């Protein structure tokens, strides 16, 4: 509390620049020769970082209690965990 509107604007612009840089890196990383799995992992990681930044600063979760942060973080992580389980299951069935 006690922050002026100018303080918030400065923070919002910093986050905007970081999101822009990450977006440019996402576009650039596609042109680097690497395996498809590695590329997908890098792009997903960057997307998660960007989503976390938006949630923390633009949705003001960085000022909330740890309990509320976890109520947002856990449901966001569940689809990724579920996808990993499905991919592992499909790979196990395919390689068997």
pLDDT at 56: 84
**Segment 32-38 mean pLDDT:** 92
Degrees, nearest 5: CA angle 62-51-74: 70
Residue 1's pLDDT band (cuts 50, 70, 90)? low
Between 8 and 14, whose confidence is greater? 14
Q: Alpha-carbon distance 28 to 9, whole Å?
A: 28
pLDDT > 70 fraction of the chain, expressed in percent and rounded: 94
Range of lowest pLDDT (3-12, 17-26, 50-59, 87-96): 3-12
What six digits make up the tokens of 4? 């002026």
């Amino acid at each position: 509390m006690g922050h002026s509107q100018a303080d918030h604007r400065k923070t919002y612009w910093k986050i905007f620049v970081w999101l822009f840089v990450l977006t440019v890196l996402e576009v650039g990383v596609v042109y680097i020769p690497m395996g498809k799995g590695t590329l997908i992992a890098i792009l997903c990681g960057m997307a998660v970082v960007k989503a976390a930044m938006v949630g923390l600063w633009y949705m003001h979760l960085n000022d909330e209690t740890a309990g509320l942060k976890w109520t947002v973080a856990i449901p966001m992580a569940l689809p990724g965990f579920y996808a990993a389980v499905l991919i592992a299951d499909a790979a196990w069935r395919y390689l068997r």
